[in-house]
Amino acid sequence: MVSETQGAAPAVSGGSAKSSGLGRHLRRPEAGSLFGMFAVFIFFAIFAGQAFLSPAGFASWLNVAAEIGIVALPIGILMIAGELDLSIGSVIPASSLTVAVVSGYFGLPDIIGIACGLGFGVLVGLVNGLVVTRTAVPSLIVTIGSMFGVMGLTLGLSVLVTGSTATALSPDPLTTTLLGHFVAYMFQVTIFWWIGFAVVLAYILHVSPWGNWIYALGGDKISARNAGIPTEKVTISLFMLSGFAAAFVGVSQVIVYQSAQVAGGQSFIFNSIMCVVIGGVLLTGGFGSILGIVLGTITFAMVNQGIYFTGFDANLGSVIIGALLLIAVLMNDTFRKLALSYATKKK
261 phi and psi angles, rounded to 5 deg:
-130, 155
Distance, in Å, from the CA atom of 2 to the CA atom of 12, rounded to the nearest integer, reads 17
Percent of the chain at pLDDT exceeding 90: 59
Q: Residue ranges per domain, the chain?
A: 27-342
Burial class (CB in 10 A: 0-12, 13-18, 19+), 327: middle
Q: Between 21 and 232, whose confidence is greater?
A: 232
What does residue 259 show for φ and ψ, rounded to 5 degrees?
A: -165, 150
| E strand or H helix at 260 | strand 259-261
What is the C-alpha to C-alpha distance for residues 9 and 216, in angstroms, rounded to an integer? 17
**Cα–Cα–Cα angle for 172, 174, 180, rounded to 5 degrees:** 85
Using alpha carbons only, what angle is made at residue 56 by residues 279 and 62, rounded to the nearest 5 degrees? 20
Q: Looking at this protein, which amino acid is placed at residue 292?
A: G
Least confident of 20-24, 108-112, 226-230: 20-24
What is 44-91 written as a DSSP string? Answer: HHHHTTHHHHSHHHHHHHHHHHHHHHHHHHHHHHHHHTT----THHHH
pLDDT at 156 over 70: yes
Q: 154 with 213: CB under 8 angstroms? A: no
pLDDT at 8: 39
pLDDT of residue 203 exceeding 50, the answer is yes
Of the pLDDT bands very low, low, confident and very high (cuts 50, 70, 90), residue 283 is: confident
The answer as to CATH 3.40.50 being correct for domain 27-342 is no
Say what the pLDDT of residue 11 is: 35
What pTM was computed for the model? 0.87
168's enclosing H/E stretch is: strand 166-168
Residues in the chain: 347
Distance from chain centroid for Cα 64: 12
Using CA atoms, how far apart are residues 231 and 129, in angstroms rounded to an integer?
Answer: 11
Question: Closest by alpha carbon to 71, among 79, 81, 61?
Answer: 79
Element (H, E) at 297: helix 290-306
| Closest residue by Cα to residue 123 from 30, 207, 247, 233 | 247
Q: How confident is the model at residue 340 (pLDDT cuts 50, 70, 90)?
A: low
Q: Work out the number of other CB atoms within 10 angstroms of the CB of residue 187.
A: 18
User: Average pLDDT, stretch 235-253?
Assistant: 97
Indicate left, alpha or beta for 265 from its phi (over 0: left) and psi (-120 to 50: alpha).
Answer: left
CA distance to 34, 71, 242, 274, 308, per residue, from 86 (Å)? 26, 11, 10, 13, 28
pLDDT digits (tens, 9 = 90+) for 35-55: 888 888 998 899 888 889 999
